[in-house]
A = this chain, B = another copy of it.
Amino acid sequence: MAISVETFFLNPDAQGTLQAQIQEMIAAGILSGRFRAEEKLPSSRKLAAHLGVSRITVTLAYTELVANDYLTARGRSGFFVSGTAPVPPSFSPTEKGQETVDWAGTITRQFTGGDTPRKPKDWRSYRYPFIYGQADATLFDHANWRLCALRALGQKDFAAMTGDYFDQDDPLLIEYIARHTLPRRGIIARPEEILITLGAQNALWIVVQLLLQQGRKAAIEDPSYYTLRDQLGHTGCALDVIGVDSDGLPPEQIAADTDVIFTTPSHQSPTTATMPMARRKALLSRAKEIDAIVVEDDYEFEMSFRAPPSPALKSIDSDGRVIYLGSFSKSLFPGLRLGYLVGSEPFIRQARALRANVLRHPPGHIQRTVAYFLSLGHYDAQIRRMARVLQERRAVLEEAISSHGLIPANRSLYGGSSLWMQAPAHVDMGRAAEDLRANSVIIEPGAPFFSTETRRHNFYRLGYSSIASERIPQGVAHVAEAIRNARP
């Protein structure tokens, strides 16, 4: 039997080359059982004419399918579904009945709810995306990333890409971090003191699991990264929420019975305050005095375009008290999901065992690609390009907010990729943010960053890592208008 040419149509919205689309249609037809063994495909001439594509495109698709044994070529008679092509199974699924499982009673721990807000997935379609922490296609060195990924996909790297590392990491990446990245933060660490994680959030999660539980106490900054608060909440530990000032976390307010202190000294999240060196030293002394562990999320240190970054807290830690978190996600792209933990060997050993238990290891191909991107110097070049653009955008943004009378709640001297803003006390920025979407503006309401006890609704964050300079003034004008129009 011949397969009718009418069976085939190109989806106008499909991605990928025409050849790939034709291959996909035919493979899908065979795998789903619509096309059966020995059935004849339309001639390449006929199919090409029907689809309005060139004949060579169809021929190439057929040839690929022959190589994969979906089709066989029989000289002049044309192409047929191969006799040994995959056959779909013949059994059909049971009709679904009424679900009788009581899931509320069966699931012992709930993870939904919590403070982590939902952000719009389609933010790229907004005209004024003051969104934080997303990748800007215009700033990313796509070409070199592709080359590095390609190199990591090569035969030479087969083992690195495909292998099960069990609980280990890519030695090339670890070596680069130890020899180049950490020294630039003033940190010296051996490979046994470094663990690659699935992004900085995964690093935080690991630390929380190992150090906190009922009966322990954590101190966190307020406002702070909401997901950290969620993570701590699930452990049942006690939580001290310490308000930050324009220098970040005030060490003298840390209670004596605190076990673990979470801090973001480079750019406080979300206020962007940078902790001065004197306070860093005071924080370490306080930690030592009360025998607490300090978890330093060294987030966005690369984005210090206004002044050179201060050395990390970890670099002045002489007794192994600081656990350091780094990430490539912010400066490369968040979908990368790659970060690292640096700490004392006994701690990293447990962190490695926990990670192995949960997910084994971050995918090898990604680790190797980043290792190449770093060691070829593309990473630093990209950081500098980004810093230049962010500096320009920051200037435009400062100008726009000042001309509209908007008020920054804090102003990092070092740079960063966002401004932490304060509206008049009566304004609910959550509601304003929703209204602003109608004008194609995305801003981040500040409320989720505050603990429930201290929650304030008149703060918001303006990210400028994914919005072009020329769009900033009009976007800020919309924000100013929304704040003016907000009902008390």
Contacts and interface: CB of A to CB of B under 8 A. Distances in A.
Interface of A: 15-16, 20, 23-24, 26-28, 30-32, 65, 68-70, 84, 86, 88-89, 91-101, 103-104, 106-114, 116, 118-119, 121, 124, 133-135, 137, 140, 142, 144-146, 149-151, 153, 155-166, 168, 180, 183-188, 198-199, 201-202, 205, 209-213, 216, 227, 230-231, 234, 259, 288, 291, 293, 308-311, 315-321, 332-337, 344, 346-347, 349-350, 353-354, 356-366, 372, 375-378, 380-381, 383-384
Contacts of A119: 164, 166
Given A358-B358, A359-B201, A153 B164 contact: no
Contacts of A288: 100
A121 B84 CA distance: 37
A137 B160 CA distance: 12
A118 B108 CA distance: 32
B162 A20 contact: no
Contacts of A291: 101
Contact of A96 (B184, B318, B335, B354): B318
A291 B334 CA distance: 41
B32 A180 contact: yes
A363 B381 contact: no
Contact of A377 (B27, B201, B317, B378): B27
B209 A109 contact: yes
A145 B162 CA distance: 11
A288 B320 CA distance: 53
A94 B318 contact: yes
Please provide the 4 A-B residue pairs with the shortest distance between their CB atoms, ordered closest to farther.
A27-B377, A162-B333, A68-B381, A111-B353
Nearest to A16: B151
A98 B99 CA distance: 60
- Interface core residue of A137, A157, A210 (most chain B CB under 10 Å): A210
Number of copies of chain A assembled together: 2
Given A31-B377, A112-B353, A337-B360, 6 more contacts: A28-B377, A91-B186, A101-B291, A109-B213, A112-B350, A134-B163
- Interface core residue of A103, A187, A377 (most chain B CB under 10 Å): A377
Given A124-B159, A161-B335, A377-B23, A309 B89 contact: yes
A108 B130 CA distance: 40
Contacts of A231: 357
Nearest to A293: B106
A188 B93 contact: yes
B146 A153 contact: yes
A376 B116 contact: no
A256 B442 CA distance: 54
Nearest to A153: B146
B335 A24 contact: no
A111 B354 contact: yes
A234 to B, nearest CB: 7
A184 B89 contact: yes
B311 A91 contact: yes
A100 B181 CA distance: 26
A380 B69 CA distance: 10
A234 B357 contact: yes
Contacts of A361: 337
